[in-house]
Amino acid sequence: MTRSYALVDCNNFYVSCERLFRPELKRRPVVILSNNDGCVVSRSQEAKKLNIPMATPLFKVEQLLKRHRVEIFSSNYTLYADISSRVMQTLETFSPQVEIYSIDEAFLDLTGLITAEARYDYGQEIRQTVQRHVGIPVCVGIAPTKTLAKLANHGAKTYPATNGVVDLSRPERRDRLLKITPVSEIWGVGKRTLLRLQHMGIHTAWDLSALSIKTARRQFSVVMERTIRELRGEACIDIDAQPAPQQQVICSRSFGEKISAYAPLRETVCEFAARAAEKLRHNRQLARMITVSVRTSAYSAEDPCYANSASGSLPSYSNDSRQIIARATSLLQTVWKDGYRYAKAGVMLSDLSLDSPFQPDLFDDPSCRARNTALMKAMDQINHGGSGSIWLGGQRPQRDWFMNRAHLSPAYTTRWEQLPIVS
């Protein structure tokens, strides 16, 4: 049976979230910054028109932003995650098979759900419902493969005449859009691949779809082969409504101020380790491998450059903050070198397993494990909401001390004291 997928993608998602609570910003240029106020990661239509490229460092466009009185926000992930889950809940009423692909987009399996003729209208209904229930504008792309649904969504965003919905079920429409879309817009074509494709004279999505499968396989990889088949309408990537448990948990940050001494760097790494352990417990997972990485700035010309990482295993599968912090500290000692100005560090947990059913090893002490689990649970409950009321020795008490967040909006939907007030 011919399959049918919809890709629903929120428009300028972070900007739209901020505008929900600041409606006066509707037609104003708005940008959202990454963690640490480093780069521009979301732009309103008006900001895009000012030629502010995605992921530009803030300092490069600061003057431009000022001149055009662009509204600036630090990222407020607590808010975005909450709005995202409301959007996803709404989408789940439109298909039994929904794959949440990222914070702002989801694939819906429409196969056998609606007739080909009704698909465009269904897309419009999705748009209107999300707008009415959550207040977030979305675009919908519908097609027989996920790669084409991505393309359709890009079309819906690019061409206002589509009214936010593009259905590529008919091959004529599909081919027409392929011919006018640059190959760089195709899902899976990144910077490196783009360069190689251009050398081969491949510039549009249509050119790519015409590349022989054999050549694609030989010169690129199975990934490219799949992309081409999908562009031709052959579904190779299925909906993944029950994603496998995560394989790694990462906590890493650039610092607001560079760190040259061991003690503050250790405190920071301990903090990252504690956060990673929290995430692990939230996922109901355990880890056996831990990696600690540190680096100096990759951009600074005058500072000497150094980057290193060290991995090691934990005594057994664990999500106990104390064990993870202890191991992180010992690993940091092996990569620490005096005389550098550190700009970034990270802790990664891998070799994960679910915490139940748990397979203990020979030396496991069940009563000790139960006690530790209870202790961590109590800690998480006290810290619920991210306020960081209690912490372990070695952690730095003021969370986020190292992060610049000069333009943060309130946690409108997740903290009582910050609820918006209608007067």
Partner DNA sequence: TCTGGGGTCCTAGGACCC
Give whole-number Cα distances, 420 to 30, 57, 194, 392, 412, in Å. Answer: 20, 31, 45, 34, 6
Please say which residue, 59 or 358, places its beta carbon nearer to DNA.
59
Residue with tokens 């104390």: 322
The reply on whether position 65 binds DNA by CB under 7 A is: no
The reply on whether position 97 binds DNA by CB under 7 A is: no
Cβ at position 324, least distance to DNA in Å: 14
The reply on whether position 222 binds DNA by CB under 7 A is: yes
The SS3 assignment for 63 reads helix
Nearest to 5 by CA among 127, 111, 122: 111
Span 184-203, contacts to DNA by CB under 7 A: 186-194
Please say which residue, 100 or 110, places its beta carbon nearer to DNA.
100
Distance CA 221, CA 243 (A): 24
Which of 34, 409, 413, 414 is the binder for DNA (CB under 7 A)? 34
The reply on whether position 295 binds DNA by CB under 7 A is: no
242 neighbors 370 (Cβ within 8 angstroms): no
Cβ at position 213, least distance to DNA in Å: 13
How many residues form the binding site for DNA (CB under 7 A)? 47
Which of 292, 346, 376, 396 is the binder for DNA (CB under 7 A)? 346
The SS3 assignment for 245 reads coil
Pairing assessment for the beta strands 248-259 and 165-167 based on DSSP bridges: unpaired
Distance CA 372, CA 138 (A): 45
Distance CA 358, CA 317 (A): 9
x-or-dash pattern for DNA, window 303-342, by CB under 7 A?
A: --------x-------------------------------
Span 148-177, contacts to DNA by CB under 7 A: 150
185 neighbors 209 (Cβ within 8 angstroms): no
Span 103-142, contacts to DNA by CB under 7 A: 103-105
Please say which residue, 301 or 422, places its beta carbon nearer to DNA.
301
Q: Where are the alpha helices (DSSP H) in 134-189?
A: 146-158, 171-180
Cβ at position 389, least distance to DNA in Å: 21
The conformation of residue 320, written as its DSSP 8-state character, comes to -
Enumerate binding residues for DNA (CB under 7 A).
34-36, 38-39, 41, 55, 57-59, 101-105, 150, 186-194, 221-223, 244, 246-254, 258, 279, 297, 299-300, 311, 343-344, 346
